[in-house]
């Protein structure tokens, strides 16, 4: 579970576990593949129990798992990758370069420009849709549930000012620099 959290596939919301946009994208890619077959876990448990009771062959089980690993590796290598589905966005600061969109950051590859937008803002992962809005419209949708340094929750828009610097815009009209 900790790997799912650290790679941003799942996040906690109160007492629930909720898939992130990235987690849903990965699931969409693998849901029809052998790697997502939930019956496999039960089959492995049964086979391991038989081996433990001297009713099964450990070498045969190992050989089956090696074949399985080979099969799922081939399947996964044939899938289209996530970056192919990302939008093509031009840097809002230099207006020349195509932005690099990563899981944790969106940035301009031009060393002289240095424009960057972190995807995790005050504890909330910014979606690709909001990144598109920020670049094209210079404003995200209302982002709910962000946390201040003091731990207080707040809702705000992320906007780009005239210098392409990210700021908060609150519903009541106040703007606060990040």
pLDDT score at 72: 86
Taking the C-alpha atoms of residue 108 and residue 100, their distance in angstroms, rounded to an integer, is: 6
Taking the C-alpha atoms of residue 78 and residue 17, their distance in angstroms, rounded to an integer, is: 30
- Residue 99: DSSP 8-state: P
Q: State pLDDT tens for residues 1-52.
A: 788 888 888 888 888 888 887 888 788 778 878 888 888 888 889 999 999 9
pLDDT score at 97: 94
Q: State pLDDT tens for residues 77-133.
A: 777 554 557 889 999 999 999 999 988 899 999 989 999 999 999 999 999 999 999
pLDDT score at 51: 93
Q: Which residue has the tokens 């790679």?
A: 7
Q: 12 is written with which tokens?
A: 């906690």
Task: Tell me if 177 sits within 8 A of 168, measured CB to CB.
Answer: yes
Higher pLDDT, 13 or 67: 67
- Biggest alpha carbon distance in the chain? 72
pLDDT score at 154: 92
Predicted TM-score (pTM) of the model is 0.53
| Cα-Cα-Cα-Cα dihedral sign, residues 70, 76, 103, 149 | negative
pLDDT score at 98: 94
């Amino acid at each position: 579970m900790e790997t799912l959290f650290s790679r941003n596939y799942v996040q906690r919301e109160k007492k629930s576990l909720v898939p992130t946009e990235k987690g849903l994208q990965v699931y969409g890619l693998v849901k029809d593949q052998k790697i997502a077959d939930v019956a496999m876990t039960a089959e492995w448990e049964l086979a391991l129990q038989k081996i433990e009771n001297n009713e099964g062959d450990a070498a045969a089980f190992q050989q089956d798992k090696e074949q399985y690993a080979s099969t799922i590796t081939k399947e996964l290598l044939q899938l289209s990758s996530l970056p192919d589905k990302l939008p093509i966005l031009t840097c809002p600061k230099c207006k020349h370069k195509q932005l690099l969109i990563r899981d944790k950051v969106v940035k301009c590859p031009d060393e002289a420009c240095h424009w960057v937008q972190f995807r995790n803002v005050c504890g909330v992962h910014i979606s690709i849709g909001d990144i598109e809005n920020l670049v094209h419209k210079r404003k995200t949708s209302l982002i709910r549930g962000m946390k201040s340094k003091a731990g207080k929750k707040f809702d705000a828009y992320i906007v780009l000012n005239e210098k392409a610097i990210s700021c908060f815009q609150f519903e009541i009209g106040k703007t606060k620099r990040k």
